[in-house]
């Protein structure tokens, strides 16, 4: 092809959905992917015995209609995250085992969490998904960190610790890292905090048989040789009529439009000629990635189930603050997945592998007893070390960013269009948001081609 | 040279001072500069009649010992910023003309500003220049924006408007953009807020005859053909024993050590192989540049002086919030320099040149009367549009950054060393900080070469 209709940069879900929609609309499309694989932040690894296990994004849940439609269209199946039995919650030195949604806690703390969540959900409903920078209190919210907002809203030490844990679990960032407006936008885009943090009924409800990377693999299969791997884009020269995209290994692609489907801090590392407008450049300087080390630990069987435990555990004090049963479809081997998030990822990354592994196993023993000390396998992934992700789960906006530069998130610049889960209006940070952004950007580009 | 002792990336003051110190220490050094000129954020333009005028950084003041020593060593001279006569201050609809440091204001507002400045200065003294992340209240300060801190500290609307204006003037950013810990560190590194905002006795006290870019030009002259222009570094491959640096136009340089002397968001755009540790990468994702459009407006003479005005004007309401007499050494033509900073730069950049120019002139007429409406020349520079600066005056740390990633600002990674004014302990954002960082990094590298 001499001049493609569109070139897509990045073969994560956003880029692949965009490419598939464009192809379905009759366009000639090429996808350039930096890595030797598709999927971006979705990645399968292998457990002892060969079952697939996700070391990246892995859950879907109700309300994520675009992700679920995609899974369905690709002929993939979902299965529920294991939730039977009692969950473990450690708040400071207080440990409880509970069923349902709410741990047994000091009633004052419970009441505090309840009223703060009520206020957060109410705030989130006031922040429009499409233009949060126009919310009634946008300026007030964007001048403060989410931590500042939480300190004013939650009044007990336990309540504040709970919301720090939740922030780490949802954003793999600390409450002080992000704008309160971004936090409200993100909660609103999911339909409320419960939807973000729940397993059954929430964003962790279901898993994909064979692992979520199969979504990307399925899309890539449909696109066939339109997807070029090992092609890291370094330069995009552009003018109104089209683009010239150059990869590090010397491939040059001409196209009428470009879809950039990589996270904002990585989009900042592509050299555009002419340079992008100040608004767009300032935006991508101000949306850092969260930081997480994801750990899957395999055992010969899911022994916690026999003890009446669900495998779900949380702690405001342990580095491994959030754990779920991650046993694959089929039931073997038993797997616990845990997350070192935000500051815990910082500390974890500064350890050597042996020390980090020992700390993780120690936390699992603390939650589930001595049998957790004898794993079959320990599989970890530090996403901040990945050159083509540089963090997970997603990017967030720091204070002052959405109100000053928000529209630049999605506004095309000449022939350049922006996709990626961070550009979504709902579930911005999830597979669903990635799919939304892919559909949206294809809808922008197709009319330009006719 | 087959393998240089050190390659320096960036020929701003930081890189040039580092290179000169290294050469004086006996090292074989090559400096790679992306632009077709040296100086980075220091840049001379020309007034009608040929006198030089700075469109970038331009002042030096007491306490900036490294910058002053550099100017002296290069045989350059300074002269005082013109300050005779009355300054203009507009706070909301209230206009005053005053001499000395303090405008005539509502006494309640004056008292509020006084107590808040006292608190800020006291706080700044508690934050060590070398490791602000270890300050007694570091975590508390780094979980909030500077705006949040100011709202708790200044109690009148006038006081808050004053500190917003000051923040814009000092950082070309808004108070909500940065961590309160970064603000305190920055104020402390200057020795207090007065030192940052004052003309006589402060950071705007003196100017360099011939313009500040002569500092960079003088250093480059000493370095001779060791400085290579038009050589944008795209890739740095590194191992313990050395580096291989590649420029966009195909130059490849091998060296035992590399000094990266560009601002953090631009350092993030260099591709390192192997990739940098997560701490370093996360840091550079979280230090965006301020945004400023600097405007010099020339008149046949400095007419305001005849009216008993100093040319210094400030307004909490006008986009052009800060103005100084910027008449060059020699006294002709008359020049007023003004700044569109932070949100005012956003708005200004979204206008076309004619509208922006009209708005600037309108503000100058508002300050200085109708004669300001007939300029000889209008010279502007939007630093966020500059590919190899992407903002000014400097980068700042967003909340959560210094406490989580602060040490990565200066910690070498293998053969890679970090310079640039943002890595300074004092005057981080000024010529002085750039010089400090150049000296420091040369001191790191020289022992490694022996």
Question: Which residues face A54 on adjacent strands?
Answer: A44
- pLDDT above 80 (res B91): yes
Judge: B177–A265 Cβ closer than 8 Å, yes or no.
no
Rounded to the nearest integer, the mean pLDDT of chain B is 97
Q: Is B278 near chain A, with CB under 8 Å? A: yes
Calculate how close chain B gets to A8, using CA atoms only, in Å: 20
pLDDT at residue B255 is higher than 80: yes
Q: Which two tokens stand for residue B157?
A: 């609307």
Nearest chain B Cα distance for residue A239, angstroms: 17
Cα angle for residues B350, B354, B356 (degrees, 5° grid)? 45
Instruction: For residue B234, give Cα distances in angstroms to B6, B73, B245, B263.
Output: 17, 33, 8, 15
Q: Which residue has the tokens 């610049």?
A: A413
Q: Is A369 helix (H, G, I), strand (E, B) or coil?
A: coil
Please give the Cα distance from B85 to B97 (Å, whole number). Answer: 9
Q: What is the mean pLDDT of residues B346-364?
A: 98
Q: Residue B164: which residues within 8 A CB-CB, separation 6 or more?
A: B150, B174, B175, B316
- What's the confidence (pLDDT) of residue A431? 98
Residue B52, φ and ψ in degrees, nearest 5: -75, 150
Looking at the predicted structure, is the pLDDT value of residue B93 above 90? Answer: no
Identify from A178, A398, A422 which residue to disrupt to test chain B contact, counting B C-beta atoms within 10 A and taking the largest count: A398
Is B147 in the A-facing interface, judged by CB distances under 8 Å? Answer: yes
**Would you say B292 and B349 are in contact if contact means Cβ atoms under 8 Å apart?**
no
| DSSP character string of B228-269 | E-S--EEEEEEETTEEEEEETTS-EEEEEEEEE-S-HHHHTT
The reported pLDDT for the residue numbered A450 is 87
Find the closest chain A residue to B266 by CA distance. Answer: A269
User: Is there a contact between B177 and A399 if contact means CB atoms under 8 Å apart?
Assistant: yes
Distance between CA atoms of residues A275 and A277, nearest Å: 7
Mean pLDDT across the stretch B310-338?
97
Counting Cα atoms < 13 Å in the Cβ hemisphere of B32 gives 26
- Is the four-CA dihedral B62, B66, B72, B77 of positive or negative sign? negative
Q: Which of A163, A286, A278 is nearest to B348 (CA)?
A: A278
User: For B346, which of A173, A279, A385 is closest by C-beta distance?
Assistant: A279
What H or E segment, with its residue span, contains residue B169? helix B157-171
Residues 6 or more apart whose Cβ sits within 8 Å of residue A242:
A3, A254, A255, A256, A257, A415
- Beta-carbon separation of B399 and A275 below 8 A: no
Q: What is the pLDDT of residue A96?
A: 93
Reported confidence tier of residue B102, pLDDT bands at 50, 70, 90 = confident
From B181's Cα to the closest Cα of chain A, the distance in A is 12
Q: DSSP character for B132?
A: G
pLDDT the model gives residue B100: 81
Mean of the pLDDT values across residues B7-24?
A: 98
What's B234's DSSP letter? E
Contact B349, B293 (CB under 8 A): yes
Contacts of A271 in chain B (CB under 8 A): 234, 248, 269
Q: Which two tokens stand for residue B196?
A: 């940052």
Task: List the single residue in A with minimal CA-CA distance to B399.
Answer: A177
CA triple A10-B279-A292, angle to 5 deg:
60
Which of A34, A246, A399 has the highest number of chain B CBs within 10 A, making it the mutation to test binding with B?
Answer: A399
Show pLDDT as tens, one digit a residue, over chain A (450 residues): 799 999 999 999 999 999 999 999 999 999 999 999 999 999 999 999 999 999 999 999 999 999 999 999 999 999 999 999 999 999 988 899 999 877 888 899 999 999 999 999 999 999 999 999 999 999 999 999 999 999 999 999 999 999 999 999 999 999 999 999 999 999 999 999 999 999 999 999 999 999 999 999 999 999 999 999 999 999 999 999 999 999 999 999 999 999 999 999 999 999 999 999 999 999 999 999 999 999 999 999 999 999 999 999 999 999 999 999 999 999 999 999 999 999 999 999 999 999 999 999 999 999 999 999 999 999 999 999 999 999 999 999 999 999 999 999 999 999 999 999 999 999 999 999 999 999 999 999 999 998
Query: What integer pLDDT is reported at residue B431 of this predicted model?
Result: 98
**CB-nearest partner of A143 from B147, B248, B281:** B147
- Residue B101 in this model has a pLDDT that exceeds 90: no
CA nearest B375: which of B383, B366, B365, B385?
A: B365
A-chain residues near B143 (CB < 8 A): 145, 147-148, 174-176
pLDDT digits (tens, 9 = 90+) for B216-235: 999 999 999 999 999 999 99
- The closest CB to that of A285, out of B288, B399, B400, belongs to B288
Which among A166, A188, A186, A143 is positioned nearest to A396, based on CA atoms? A186
Q: Do B265 and A285 touch (CB under 8 A)?
A: yes
Q: How far is CA A244 from the centre of its chain?
A: 30
Backbone angles phi and psi of A419, in degrees to 5? -125, -170
The pLDDT tens digits for B362-392 are: 999 999 999 999 999 999 999 999 999 999 9
User: Which chain B positions have a beta carbon within 8 Å of A400's beta carbon?
Assistant: 145, 173-174, 176-177
Average pLDDT over residues B176-180: 98
The answer to whether A126 and A136 are in contact (CB under 8 A) is yes
Helix (H) or strand (E) holding A184: helix A180-190
Do residue B268 and residue A265 have CB atoms under 8 angstroms apart?
yes
Question: How are beta strands A416-418 and A377-382 bridged, if at all?
Answer: unpaired
Cβ–Cβ below 8 Å for B385 and A289: no
């Amino acid at each position: 092809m001499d001049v493609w209709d569109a070139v897509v940069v990045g073969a994560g879900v956003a880029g692949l959905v965009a490419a598939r929609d464009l192809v379905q609309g009759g366009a000639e499309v090429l996808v350039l992917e930096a890595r030797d694989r598709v999927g971006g932040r979705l990645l399968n690894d292998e457990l002892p015995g060969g079952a697939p296990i996700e070391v990246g994004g892995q859950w879907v849940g109700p309300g994520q209609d675009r992700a679920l439609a995609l899974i369905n269209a690709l002929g993939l199946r979902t299965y529920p995250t294991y939730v039977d039995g009692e969950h473990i919650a450690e708040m400071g030195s207080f440990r409880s085992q509970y069923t349902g949604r709410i741990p047994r806690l000091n009633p004052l703390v419970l009441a505090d969490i309840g009223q703060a969540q009520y206020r957060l959900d109410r705030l989130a409903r006031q922040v429009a998904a499409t233009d949060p920078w126009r919310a009634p209190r946008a300026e007030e919210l964007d001048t403060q960190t989410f931590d500042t907002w939480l300190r004013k809203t939650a009044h007990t030490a336990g309540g504040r610790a709970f919301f720090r844990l939740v922030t780490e679990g949802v954003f793999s960032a600390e409450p002080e890292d992000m704008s309160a407006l971004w936090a409200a936008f993100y909660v609103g885009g999911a339909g409320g905090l419960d939807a973000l943090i729940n397993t059954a009924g929430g964003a962790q409800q279901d898993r994909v048989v064979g692992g979520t990377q199969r979504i990307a693999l399925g899309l890539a299969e449909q696109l066939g040789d339109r997807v070029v791997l090992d092609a890291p884009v370094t330069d995009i020269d552009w003018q109104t009529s089209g683009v010239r995209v150059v990869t590090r290994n010397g491939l040059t692609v001409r196209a009428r439009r470009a879809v950039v489907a990589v996270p904002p801090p990585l989009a900042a590392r592509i050299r555009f000629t002419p340079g992008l407008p100040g608004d767009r450049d300032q935006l991508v300087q101000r949306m850092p990635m969260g930081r997480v080390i994801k750990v899957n630990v395999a055992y010969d069987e899911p022994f916690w189930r026999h003890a009446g435990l669900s495998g779900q555990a949380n702690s405001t004090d342990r580095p491994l603050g959030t754990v779920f049963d991650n046993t694959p479809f089929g039931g073997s081997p038993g797997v616990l997945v845990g997350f070192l998030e935000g500051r815990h990822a910082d500390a974890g990354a500064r350890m050597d592998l042996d020390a980090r592994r020992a700390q993780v196993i120690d936390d699992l023993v603390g939650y589930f007893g001595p049998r957790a000390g004898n794993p079959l396998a320990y599989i970890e992934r530090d996403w901040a070390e990945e050159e083509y992700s540089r963090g997970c789960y997603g990017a967030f906006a720091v204070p002052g960013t959405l109100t000053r530069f928000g529209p630049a998130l999605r506004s095309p610049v000449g022939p350049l269009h922006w996709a990626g889960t961070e550009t979504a209006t709902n579930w911005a940070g999830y597979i669903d948001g990635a799919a939304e952004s892919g559909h949206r950007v294809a809808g922008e580009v197709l009319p330009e081609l006719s």
